[in-house]
């Protein structure tokens, strides 16, 4: 049977009072005192004792209740409670003072920690890499705009979703892993643990190594083509000049004249090809401005009658280079239009996604057969293609700090191109 401290003290007081009462009655019997005298003496002796005990009992356990309440509030991370100093000196005063100082110290430390956490979350929001924070139950509690772009929907709408919903999960051997099925290849994860509000949280950073690899690959292509372009131009110029000179001297020989014409035409085509690749590699001078995407889509529709387009309500203007983005749209729409020789269907949709604009171009063609080669220069599946259009589109979009992804459609046969363009926070797109 368990006994509390209060019960033990009350039982001890009752035992002492019983012994004193028995001794007092025994003395009064020896003195042959009357019953009235005995009762009077007992009342006079015990009434002050009981009142004194009650006062001491209330003060002592009042202090203990204060200490218990203070410890409970500290455990709940509420540091605003301050103990009332009911004693001027002694151990009770020291206990109350120490608890008050402890609460003040913990409150200061929590304030500094909250400031640090706030700065960390603000820093996360400013970083370009997708970052997500999961609680101890592996549910999403915070992320940044880059993570919204990664999952292609606002992370706020996915708050409290389990990490597996995003294709993420902890692994005992390799930290956190990313399921490659719902996401494009070329991503790596970095993770760490931290404690907030007494709970363990997971900080997961997604790193796009594909972009770095592609940058190095394109740089290698640039170096190769820089040398080849120089040599090709130096060779084509005299060939073209000599062919033109010889063509003027063989007017009577139709076969020779035609052969020289082929040489001249191919020289011009090769020079144009080299020039186009040079324009692919160069950094564009962006002329960023706010413009209405509906006008751009209407102009594209005039060139490709039959396409359908839709701009989400509330999006009137977007921030980009209107000329270059229109060129990107023309290339992608042209690819989609030519992907189906009979009854082509191309659909364009634009909507806001967190702090980004997402543009989808869908077609009803045969789809993508070699996704790994899409953005490799000179690779093409068209008979008269140069393999430059998609590289140029990707170059322009990435200079806007955006992304371009091409995948096969999930709902039917065909391809889907998705452009993500970051938008500045200074002006509303509505």
Mean pLDDT of 171-186: 71
Question: Do 90 and 172 share a structural domain?
Answer: no
H-type alpha helices, 127-182: 145-151
> In which residue are the tokens 């400013």 written?
126
- Domain membership of residue 93 as a residue range: 5-109
Backbone φ, ψ for residue 244 (5° rounding): -65, -40
Q: Is residue 295 predicted with pLDDT exceeding 60?
A: yes
pLDDT at 382: 54
Query: Of 179, 209, 239, which residue constitutes the final position of a domain?
Result: 209
**Mean pLDDT, range 384-402, rounded to an integer:** 75
Q: Token pair 């509690």 is at which residue?
A: 141
d(CA 163, CA 247): 71
> Using 50, 70 and 90 to split pLDDT, how confident is the model at 320?
very high
Asked which of 75, 109, 143 is the last residue of a domain, the reply is 109
State how far the Cα of 404 lies from the Cα of 265, in Å rounded to an integer. 35
Whether 428 is in a domain gets the answer no
Structure confidence at residue 404 as a pLDDT band (50, 70, 90)? confident
Neighbouring CB atoms inside 10 A of 155's CB total 23
What percent of the chain has pLDDT above 70?
A: 78
- Residues 412, 303, single domain; the answer is yes
Does residue 427 sit within a domain?
no
**C-alpha dist (Å) from residue 12 to 19, 152, 403:** 11, 72, 80
pLDDT at 359 exceeding the cut of 90: yes
In this prediction, residue 279 has a pLDDT band, given cuts at 50, 70 and 90, of low
Among 156, 163, 162, CA closest to 178: 163
In the chain, count of helices (H) and strands (E)? 9, 13
Q: Are residues 43 and 135 in the same domain?
A: no
C-alpha to C-alpha distance for 223 and 218, rounded to whole angstroms: 9
Q: How many other β-carbons are positioned within 10 Å of the β-carbon of residue 418?
A: 15
48 & 173 share domain: no
One domain for residues 299 and 217: no
pLDDT for the residue 305: 87
Residue 274 binned pLDDT confidence (cut-offs 50, 70, 90):
low
pLDDT of residue 426: 58
Q: Is residue 430 in some structural domain? A: no
Give the range among 215-229, 333-347, 354-368 with minimum mean pLDDT.
Answer: 215-229
DSSP string, 397-420: HHHTT-EEEEEE-SSSSSEEEEEE
SS3 of 86-141 = CCCCCHHHHHHHHHHHHHHHHHHHHHHHHHHHHHHHHHHHHCCCCEEEECCCCEEE
Does residue 429 fall inside a structural domain?
A: no
If you average pLDDT over every residue of the chain, what do you get?
78
Tell me, yes or no, whether 345 and 416 share the same domain. yes
Could you tell me if residue 415 is left (phi over 0), alpha (psi between -120 and 50 degrees) or otherwise beta? beta
Whole-number pLDDT of residue 311: 92
Task: Give the pLDDT confidence of 118-160 residue by residue, as tens digits.
Answer: 777 777 887 888 889 998 899 998 888 888 888 878 888 888 8
- Length reported for the chain: 430
| Same domain as 308, residue 229 | no
Together in a domain, 327 and 276: no
118 within domain boundaries = no
> Which pLDDT score is estimated for 427?
58
Query: Checking DSSP bridges between strand 131-134 and strand 199-208, what pairing results, if any?
Result: antiparallel
- Burial level of 378, CB count in 10 A (0-12/13-18/19+)? middle
Extract the tokens encoding 167: 């294709």
Which DSSP state fits 183? S
Is residue 254 domain-shared with residue 378, that is, in the same domain? no
Spatial separation of the C-alpha atoms in residues 156 and 167, rounded to whole Å: 17
The string of pLDDT tens digits covering residues 310-319 is 999 888 899 9
90: buried, middle or exposed (CB in 10 Å: 19+, 13-18, 0-12)? exposed
**Residue 346's domain is classified under what CATH number?**
3.30.565.10
pLDDT at 236: 76
User: Residue 81's pLDDT is what?
Assistant: 64
In a domain, 120, yes or no: no
Among the candidates 181, 209, 237, a domain finishes at: 209
Closest Cα to residue 405, out of 362, 355, 344?
362
Which DSSP helix (H) or strand (E) runs through 421? strand 415-422
pLDDT at 350 over 90: yes
Of 320 and 219, the structure prediction assigns the larger pLDDT to: 320
Short-list 148, 155, 177, CA closest to 164: 177
φ and ψ at residue 230, rounded to 5 degrees: -60, -45
Residues 203 and 217 in one domain: no
Q: What pLDDT is attached to residue 79?
A: 61
308 CB-near residues (< 8 Å, 6+ apart): 345, 346, 347, 348
Q: Is residue 117 domain-resident?
A: no
Hey, what are 224's tokens? 């190769």
Q: Residue 194 falls within a domain, yes or no?
A: yes
**How many structural domains is the chain composed of?**
4
| Residue 399 φ then ψ, to 5° | -70, -20
- pLDDT > 90? residue 290: yes
| Cβ neighbours of residue 101 closer than 8 Å, sequence gap 6 or more | none
The answer to whether the beta carbons of residues 39 and 24 sit under 8 Å apart is: no
Query: Could you tell me the pLDDT band of residue 309, with boundaries at 50, 70 and 90?
Result: very high
State phi, psi for 121 to the nearest 5 degrees. Answer: -65, -35
Q: How far apart are CA 155 and CA 138, in angstroms?
A: 15
| pLDDT score at 348 | 94
Residue by residue, DSSP assigns 304-327 as: STT-EEEE-TT---EEE-HHHHHH
76 with 98, same domain: the answer is yes
Identify whether residues 205 and 215 lie together within a single domain.
no
């Amino acid at each position: 049977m368990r006994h509390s401290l209060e019960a033990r003290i009350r039982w001890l007081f009752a035992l002492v009072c019983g012994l004193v009462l028995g001794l007092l009655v025994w003395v009064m019997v020896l003195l042959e005192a009357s019953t009235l005298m005995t009762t009077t003496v007992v009342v006079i002796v015990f009434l002050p004792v009981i009142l004194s005990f009650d006062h001491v009992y209330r003060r002592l356990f009042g202090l203990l209740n204060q200490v218990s309440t203070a410890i409970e509030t500290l455990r709940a991370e509420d540091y605003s409670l301050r103990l009332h100093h009911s004693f001027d000196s002694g151990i009770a005063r020291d206990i109350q003072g120490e608890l008050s100082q402890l609460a003040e110290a913990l409150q200061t430390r929590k304030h500094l920690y909250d400031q640090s956490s706030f700065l960390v979350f603000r820093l996360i929001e400013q970083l370009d890499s997708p970052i997500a924070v999961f609680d101890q139950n592996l549910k999403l509690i915070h992320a940044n705009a880059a993570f919204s772009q990664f999952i292609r929907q606002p992370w706020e709408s996915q708050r409290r979703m389990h990490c597996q919903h995003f294709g993420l999960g902890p692994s005992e051997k390799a930290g956190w892993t990313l399921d490659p099925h719902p996401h494009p290849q070329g991503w790596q994860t970095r993770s760490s643990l931290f404690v907030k509000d007494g709970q363990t949280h997971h900080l997961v950073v997604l790193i796009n190594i594909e972009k770095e690899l592609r940058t190095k690959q394109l740089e290698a292509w640039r170096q190769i083509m820089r040398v080849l372009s120089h040599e090709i131009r130096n060779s084509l110029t005299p060939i073209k000049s000599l062919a033109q000179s010889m063509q003027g001297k063989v007017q009577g020989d139709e076969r020779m004249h035609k052969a020289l014409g082929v040489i001249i035409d191919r020289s011009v085509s090769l020079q144009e090809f080299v020039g186009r690749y040079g324009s692919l590699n160069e950094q564009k001078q962006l002329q960023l401005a706010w413009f209405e995407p509906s006008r751009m889509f209407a102009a594209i529709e005039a060139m490709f009658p039959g396409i359908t387009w839709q701009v989400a309500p509330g999006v009137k203007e977007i921030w980009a280079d209107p000329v270059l983005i229109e060129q990107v749209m023309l290339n992608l729409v042209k690819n989609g239009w030519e992907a189906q020789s009979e009854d082509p269907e191309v659909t364009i949709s634009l909507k806001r996604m967190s702090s980004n604009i997402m543009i989808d171009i869908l077609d009803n063609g045969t789809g993508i057969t070699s996704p790994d080669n899409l953005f490799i220069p000179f690779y093409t599946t068209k008979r008269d293609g140069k393999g430059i259009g998609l590289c140029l589109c990707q170059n322009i979009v990435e200079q806007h700090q955006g992304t371009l992804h091409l995948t096969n459609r999930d709902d039917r046969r065909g391809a889907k191109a998705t452009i993500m363009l970051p938008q500045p926070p200074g002006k509303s797109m509505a």
